[in-house]
Amino acid sequence: MVPSVACISSGIIGASLVNFKKRIYDKFLPTEQHVYMKITHEVQISDTKDTFTNSREALKRLLEKEGHQIHGLKEDLELVNFQNLKHFPQYLTSISHTRGAGASLLALKKDYLALGIDIEWSTRVMKSEAQRFFRHPEDSLYPNDLELWTMKEAAFKALATQEYPGVLVLSKIIIQDGFFWSKERPELKGVVECSRQRFDNLELTVSLASIPRSST
């Protein structure tokens, strides 16, 4: 049931997506960033599990791949300040969920300062008047508003965990040529990528953002 992303070159341990359907498929999708997506999924979305369970099960799968035993989703996976795991202090994490799907991103603190992940079903319609709430004049030209929105959400999650002057809003974040930053804290420059992952006739838009320690 888990598509998992392992960023081989960057040091990010992985991103795990969980959605609940009926048939299972499994394949690897390489990308230019040396990311390998293992997709094991089912076909019919089920609403029998809530968003908390979906995203925490994704996180559980990632930690189990690192050799950790997880007994309880609430007890063992308690979050502190959104990105820190109380019982696994060596890691950073970020989670996201939408109806019927949950996701988690995991990395070692020694390699990364902050993480962010955001997922949305690609059928979501973004109204044109909403652009003023998330577009920045210096953004690269992204014709697909949903892709830019998810990248901004992922970048927001990464930046929001850092000391930030004033109020952080999506329209203050600049997304340009695979990088993100804000003029309020330009030294916090991270990388962001967006991809689309298909599940038979369904498609998720997935954005990952991270701030490597070497960039600060």
Q: What is the pLDDT of residues 34-51, one digit of tens each?
A: 333 322 222 233 455 677
Helices (H) and strands (E) in the chain, counts: 3, 13
* Nearest Cα residue to 102 out of 208, 2, 190: 2
pLDDT at position 48 is 54
Residues in the chain: 216
**Distance (Å, whole) CA 76 – CA 105:** 16
**Other CB atoms within 10 A of residue 117 CB:** 28
Q: With cut-offs at 50, 70 and 90, classify the pLDDT of residue 107.
A: confident
> What pTM value is reported for the model?
0.82
**Distance (Å, whole) CA 40 – CA 11:** 23
The one-letter code for the residue type at 86 is K
Summarize pLDDT for 153-165 with one digit per residue, the tens: 999 999 999 999 9
Note whether 82 and 154 are within 8 A (CB).
Answer: no
pLDDT at position 5 is 41
Residues with Cβ < 8 Å from 212, sequence gap 6 or more? 10, 11, 111, 112, 113, 190, 191
pLDDT at position 155 is 97
Residue given tokens 């950790």 in the structure block: 68
Average pLDDT value for the chain: 79
**Distance (Å, whole) CA 89 – CA 3:** 25
**Distance (Å, whole) CA 165 – CA 49:** 38
pLDDT at position 30 is 37
**Distance (Å, whole) CA 206 – CA 16:** 11
